[in-house]
Chains A and B, each alone.
Chain A
Amino acid sequence: MWSRLVSLGLRAPVGGRQGFTSKVDPQGSGRITVQVIEHLERLALVDFGSREAVARLEKAIAFADRLRAVDTDGVEPMESVLEDRCLYLRSDNVVEGNCADELLQNSHRVVEEYFVAPPGNISLPKLDEQEPFPHS
């Protein structure tokens, strides 16, 4: 099935991946393995696109690691500065709506009152299932 999808041209636009993943910076934190890259790309549906982007992430992680030096024993996480207040809830009455036409206007692909999506439940191909790249 993967090879069929590949031949349908699935790989080409989504991929654009260079062979950098096999050359991940050995001086890095070691956290950015190929598996992590794939995992992040799949979760974020955003690709790194270049070695520089991976290096930037490594720098961002190194920066974030500075937090380890802070003693947070017994400190509760703070989610909102308004945590001591109650969120206001509106009464459950319909006061606006019926604007399907307006909302549909902003989409590129609609059919009648439906937004049209491509077929789902098809995962992005893994990196090593891509067409051959210049590997080391």
Chain B
Amino acid sequence: QSGSSLRIVSAALKQGQITPTELCQKCLSLIKKTKFLNAYITVSEEVALKQAEESEKRYKNGQSLGDLDGIPVAVKDNFSTSGIETTCASNMLKGYIPPYNATVVQKLLDQGALLMGKTNLDEFAMGSGSTDGVFGPVKNPWSYSKQYREKRKQNPHSKNEDSDWLITGGSSGGSAAAVSAFTCYAALGSDTGGSTRNPAAHCGLVGFKPSYGLVSRHGLIPLVNSMDVPGILTRCVDDAAIVLGALAGPDPKDSTTVHDPINKPFMLPSLADVSKLCIGIPKEYLVPELSSEVRSLWSKAADLFESEGAKVLEVSLPHTSYSIVCYHVLCTSEVASNMARFDGLQYGHRCDIDVSTEAMYAATRREGFNDVVRGRILSGNFFLLKENYENYFVKAQKVRRLIANDFVNAFNSGVDVLLTPTTLSEAVPYLEFIKEDNRTRSAQDDIFTQAVNMAGLPAVSIPVALSNQGLPIGLQFIGRAFCDQQLLTVAKWFEKQVQFPVIQLQELMDDCSAVLENEKLASVSLKQ
């Protein structure tokens, strides 16, 4: 689909080949057609059209704000948006309307981007499937792609096709589905343990996690303050660089943003050759659970770099097997603290009990949070108990340092960029995914991604190829801290080599009525 990249459509807007309003209408129409994906919690149609109108005026006067002016974007529903409901897919915040914009949202708006809506997620970004929010699960657009359907030898008009739809991965699944289905050109996700990279890999997108401290977290409803970052989901690396250019930079409202001077805009050079590059392959990431297809693609990617002149080294990250455990302890502990603010008094859900504050808080929190959130709060509180603090929380902090040092040592051995899988396999059907509980799934699915958050490094998932089933598989590149530009430059080179195919949803677009029909049938059969 031409014009499917931000860069291309931005040029078209500047040349007057399309107007922001036309673009906005097109995306709004696609959002309606793909409603069954459940990617959006809130569609901000009026806001978007008004922004489009203003953008149009600017283009007419030759005063466009830049590459993002008039570009439809979507934002994960854990970013505060002024005047627009922000729910975190939780009953706790249903109906909550923030009085301010998250810094990253404000930056997008200041660049003239059109806010199409707020996207679906796992409740409070806890999960790896985008299946555990109160607004229901998100469906992977690839479930409806020609590539997947053909492999399954299914007649697109057959009735039972929808009961085996695939998950998007998570927790930024709504944002991933929104970009993958062409309803917007870029979407914001969040990344605490892989929540942007995981759905990117499952939905065939570029999922970028910036260095911790590069992009402001102000307005991102926090999960783990020492690991959260806003993430960027786009269809190609250049687009991610454009968005990063708009978002990166110090924020007086987030004192964990660094104040080093950054070269802006984030123009990515086209690497002519990779002969000066050294790629590291962490041997501990070769786990038995890794699917043979992903392993094969990982190996082919390493070979590709080598055949093009790069040095490819095996490196060791010795504490890898403890990484997910360490993450689990630190994450639940910080979550226990961050979730304490939800007490029903100043915002969010409030129960009807009025007998005492404690009773009111407890009932409000029981009503507002789902089992996953409550489970993590309780686990976190356990690890933070006086008798457990040293043995669990502080111990995990020490292991965190060891993990961060592993990466430092790997990079100090001459490696520029690490190459790893993003996920264990391609996207699985929802019915299979829900057979295990959220914590088990998260522990499995985050295995390649969470160590990066503990070390605060930049990382990006790039779609590489389709599996035998016609589903996307992505690989992850990890860079040195604050070397985001270099990381994306390497990723861009790799993207050009692999030429990942565009998702074919044409039949879907032309025949969405049949799908909607099956959707109803599927939801009926699921209820039984």
Which chain A residues have a beta carbon within 8 Å of chain B's beta carbons? 5, 8-10, 13-14, 16, 36, 39-49, 53, 56-57, 59-61, 63-64, 66-70, 72, 75-82, 85, 87-90, 99, 102-103, 105-109, 115, 117-120, 122-124
Contact = CB atoms under 8 A, between A and B. Distances in A.
A8 B355 CA distance: 8
Given A13-B363, A46-B366, A64-B328, 9 more contacts: A49-B366, A61-B379, A68-B391, A77-B394, A81-B481, A107-B345, A115-B346, A122-B359, A124-B362
Given A46-B377, A106-B347, A60 B250 contact: no
A82 B226 CA distance: 9
B511 interface: no
Interface string B320-344: 0010011011001000100000011
Contacts of B402: 70, 72, 75
Contacts of A10: 353, 355-356, 359
Contacts of B55: none
Contacts of A90: 252, 255
Interface residues of B, number: 73
B396 interface: yes
Contacts of B454: 81
Given A72-B395, A106-B99, A60 B360 contact: no
A103 B392 contact: no
Given A64-B329, A81-B404, A87-B256, A44 B336 contact: yes
B355 A118 contact: yes
Contacts of A42: 358
A3 to B, nearest CB: 14
A61 B314 CA distance: 34
B378 A48 contact: yes
Contacts of A67: 322, 325-326, 329, 392, 395-396, 399
Contact of B256 (A13, A72, A82, A123): A82
B97 A106 contact: yes
B142 interface: no
A86 B276 CA distance: 34
B401 interface: yes
Contacts of B381: 40, 43-44
Given A43-B381, A44-B378, A106-B99, A120 B258 contact: no
B385 A39 contact: yes
B369 interface: yes
Given A64-B325, A99-B99, A108-B350, A82 B258 contact: yes
Given A66-B322, A75-B401, A107-B347, A5 B355 contact: yes
B365 A64 contact: no
Nearest to A61: B382
B379 A82 contact: no
B455 interface: yes
A14 B97 contact: no
Interface string B250-287: 10100111110000000000000000000000000000
Nearest to A116: B345
A124 B353 CA distance: 13
B65 to A, nearest CB: 24
Nearest to B481: A81
A68 B322 CA distance: 10
Given A56-B375, A60-B332, A109 B398 contact: no
B340 to A, nearest CB: 8
B361 interface: yes
B14 interface: no
Given A60-B439, A67-B326, A90-B252, A81 B357 contact: no
B432 interface: no
A106 B412 CA distance: 50
B398 A45 contact: no
B404 A118 contact: no
Nearest to B259: A88
Contacts of B360: 117-118
Given A57-B375, A81-B212, A88-B255, A14 B401 contact: no
Given A67-B322, A124-B359, A79 B397 contact: yes
Contacts of A8: 355
A125 to B, nearest CB: 9
B256 A80 contact: yes
Contacts of A123: 358
A119 B357 contact: yes
21 contacts: A10-B353, A13-B353, A16-B366, A45-B343, A46-B374, A49-B371, A56-B375, A67-B322, A67-B325, A67-B329, A69-B322, A72-B399, A75-B401, A80-B226, A81-B213, A81-B404, A85-B258, A106-B97, A106-B99, A120-B356, A122-B356
